[in-house]
Amino acid sequence: MITTNLGYPRIGPRRELKRAVEGFWKGGIGAGEMLDRARELRLDGLRKQAAAGIDLVPSNDFSLYDQFLDHVAMFGVIPEGYGWAGGPVGVDAYFALARGNDEVPALEMTKWFNTNYHYISPELTGEFTLTENLPLAAWREAQDELGLATKPVVIGPVTFLKLANNPRELPLPGLLESLVPLYARVLEELAEAGVEWVQIDEPVAVTDLDEAGRELLVEAYRALAAGPRPKLMLQTYFDDLGGDWDTVVGLPVDGVGLDLVRGRENLDRLEAEGWPEGKALGIGLVDGRNVWRTDLAAALETLERVGRVADLAAAHLGPSCSLLHLPVTVALEEKLDPTIRGWLAYADERLAEISTLRRAADEGPDGVAEALEESRRISAERRADPRLAHPEVTARLDGLTADDFRRDTPSAERLERQARRLGLPELLPTTTIGSFPQTAEVRHARARFKSGEIDEAEYQVFLDGKFREVIELQEELGLDLLVHGEFERADMVDHFAERLDGMAFIEAWVQSYGTRCVRPPLIYGDVSRPQPMTVDVSQRAQEMTEKPLKGMLTGPVTIYMWSFPRVDLPAERVAMQLALAIRDEVRDLEAAGIRAIQIDEPAFREGLPLQDADRPGYLDWATRAFRLASSGVAPETQIHTHMCYSEFNDIMPAIYDLGADVISIENSRSAGELLEAFRDFDYDRGIGPGVYDVHSERVPPVEEMAELLRRAAGVLAAERLWVNPDCGLKTRGFDEAVASLRNMVAAARLVRAELAAVAAR
């Protein structure tokens, strides 16, 4: 078999790329030095993959910010005003597309399928131009610097068009007709250079394509097959091919890659249908999205099944998807419990597993007897670990009734009672999503506390000072519903993982978007809350102000989705355990006098399965998990939730079924498109459409935010509208956050006065 990889983490083991790029943004280093650091990191990744025994090492999977954005730049899908005048796109224009600047906003950012990775989506105009052959440049770099013949990775034309914004609803066949010749030119130049294989990613193939979508795939690859090109491995991942099996497998390409981890039906279909002779099969056998070590014996059984219907000698053995979604190496997990650490495999360890499986298939199990025995031992050890199962958690779940999942008081009555209790203005109450900027001072104090340099009492004094500072700031700005700033939290999931039994905190990083990295915790056993997690902090902060202050929690679905979950229990069961832990926290916050509680669920839409048949089951347990977490409070207690960068049009009944009193959503980057879903559904609860983008440094002017509010008031009842940013302010500088909030409050007052004047007439 040929060993392959589909993509490698680009951020670096210790976030080296983040430091280089942000150093350039801040003016600490020049563009040349930033690019040199990125190049060394990129070459180091190529070396490691080759040394691990990977035959087809991917190139062009590295990016300074986002691979989809690289394709946006390569095909010239760049609006005016971003500093591009043709030819290769320079770093200033490139980062302006990603982050905006003083003159223009950033392009829209949204989730990459059902992952926590975000990509930059352009607006299609119908015009494309090949600015630079980036896959060829990446291949030549590896060849010239390392003598390594790599496999360039390209996002396929159908996925590119399907995932880009198309507000003018330009016909996709016409767009494809304009775009495919540029892909053909890229492939022709790669062939002329001597490239053997190209990986062309078409993950849209697992998303229940309609007949028009299937025709796009057929037309695209019929056109590409007609010209000179390297061998094409059409790569799918994140699910099985479902009803599109015949279309995808029948495309005129040299190989098709299948996900055999999340696409469980792919194996059954493969055995039932067989595999076309002469077409290479890409076998995605080790998990590219979770961190538990591969059960090598079970993987070899799968390979045996595949080998009965396909030629393994011509197959490409690799991960289920790009390893971008994993940390780099377990070797850096020095603080993790040694037993749990032994259960893990990150990107580098996945490469080793791939090589081991190839050896076992080629040489027989005796050739890797030691590795197989270690895998068996670890699997048995993990199953028998007493920390995994807790009878009291099981008993509590089994004892739940329908009453635990609902609030009896109708939402309209709840909102009236909550408004009186909270003392909010009748129109356009203002708030923030939760976090305030995590300054160097805050990070330094947290590091000193964790290292033992200062004790808990000193740290609490520091935190109380920051809470008081940000509360007084919000009072001065005129915000109506305050937050404490979350200075005690490094991350919205980590903070709870460190305080819940059955979860473990890791040190390694995963890229979420651009230079933003997260550390997904592990869910390794039954989850429970040994003691309150946020009550003391929220209570102390509330005592600092007469205004209402929100308790801030992360919801059960998001904790599940943004962790590396256990795979020995159904997702629903794990989510309900998390929901019970959050429910206990919600009730304790209410008992402590907190009148509004926000349970953030930004990953709710992210978890939606890619195929229609699987969606009802997910939406049922995901909404039930939220209701279980939030339904144990009195009608006067206001439940908020926050969701960002998600399309809601197709799941509005489920959003409504959450039962939240107020929902805040991203709105600025999508130019208000998300609001249409709430208009069409006649949403009759509180909603805060974000009026400015917190992922950009620019401070939006008052009138810009006021216009977004006017548009929102034209879609939804004004008495239901809240005013807030798109997301938390954690990653922003303090001065720009304050300036933006000041303008936001001014915009709210302006539109509030306009609405009152209209009502008076």
Min mean pLDDT across 64-73, 98-107, 166-175, 238-247 is at 98-107
Phi then psi dihedrals of residue 39, to 5 deg = -65, -45
Cα distance between residue 60 and residue 133, in whole Å: 10
Tokens 């600015």 -> residue: 131
Tokens of 336: 């993790």
The CA–CA distances, whole Å, from 101 to 70, 86, 92, 93, 478 equal 18, 19, 10, 10, 27
> Tokens standing for 253?
């390409």
Report d(CA 84, CA 132) in Å as an integer.
Answer: 13
For the annotated catalytic residues, the residue numbers are 695
Distances (CA, A) of 57 to 65, 106, 321, 666: 21, 32, 14, 37
Counting residues of the chain whose pLDDT is more than 90, the rounded percentage is 87
More confident residue, 430 or 451: 430
How confident is the prediction for the chain on average, in pLDDT?
Answer: 94
Q: Which of 722, 738, 728, 595 is nearest to 664 (CA)?
A: 722
Length of the chain counted residue by residue: 761
The dihedral built from the CA positions of residue 633, 639, 641 and 647, taken in this order, carries a sign that is positive
The pLDDT of residue 673: 64
Tokens of 600: 């953030």
Query: What pLDDT is stored for residue 306 in this prediction?
Result: 97
H or E element in which residue 286 lies? strand 280-286
646 pLDDT band, cuts 50/70/90, is low
pLDDT digits (tens, 9 = 90+) for 254-265: 999 999 999 989
pLDDT reported for residue 17:
98
Please list the residue range(s) of the chain that carry CATH number 3.20.20.210.
2-384, 420-760
Reported as a pLDDT band with limits 50, 70 and 90, residue 645 is low
Backbone angles phi, psi at 687, to 5 degrees: -145, 135
510-513 and 516-518 strand pairing: antiparallel
For residue 475, the surrounding DSSP H or E stretch is helix 456-477
Domain 420-760: CATH architecture, name and number where available: Alpha-Beta Barrel (3.20)
Give me the mean pLDDT over the 433-437 stretch. 91
Single-letter amino acid code for the residue at 395: A
Calpha distance 22→99 (Å, rounded): 12
pLDDT exceeds 70 at position 387: yes
- Annotate 133-144 with DSSP letters as a single string: -HHHHHHHHHHH
Q: What is the mean pLDDT of residues 52-59?
A: 98
SS3 318: strand
- Looking at 11-66, list the stretches that DSSP marks H as alpha helix, in order from N- to C-terminal side: 16-25, 31-51
* Backbone φ and ψ of 8, nearest 5°: -125, 150
At 644 the pLDDT is: 74
The pLDDT of 644-660, averaged and rounded, is 83
At 467-508, the pLDDT tens digits run 999 999 999 999 999 999 999 998 889 999 999 999 999 999
d(CA 380, CA 495): 30
Structure tokens at 244: 């599109």
Give 335: exposed, middle or buried? Use CB within 10 Å, 0-12, 13-18, 19+. Answer: exposed
Section 510-528 average pLDDT:
96
- For 59-111, the pLDDT digits (tens) are 999 999 999 999 999 999 999 999 999 999 999 999 999 999 888 889 998 88
User: Which pLDDT belongs to residue 672?
Assistant: 57
| Predicted confidence band of residue 58 (pLDDT cuts 50, 70, 90) | very high
Whole-number Å distance between alpha carbons of 633 and 231:
60
**Virtual torsion, Cα 464, 466, 471, 477, nearest 10 deg:** 170
The pLDDT score that the predictor gives to residue 667 is: 77
Q: Could you tell me where the DSSP H helices lie in 659-733?
A: 675-681, 702-715
Reported as a single tens digit per residue, the pLDDT across 733-743 is 889 999 999 99
Burial label for 742, CB within 10 Å (0-12, 13-18, 19+), is middle
Has residue 205 got a pLDDT over 80? yes
- Helix and strand counts by DSSP (H, E) for the chain: 27, 19
Task: Please give the CATH topology (third level) of the domain spanning 2-384.
Answer: TIM Barrel (3.20.20)
Assess contact for 600 and 492: CB atoms under 8 A. yes
Q: Under 8 Å CB-to-CB from 246, ≥6 apart: which residues?
A: none
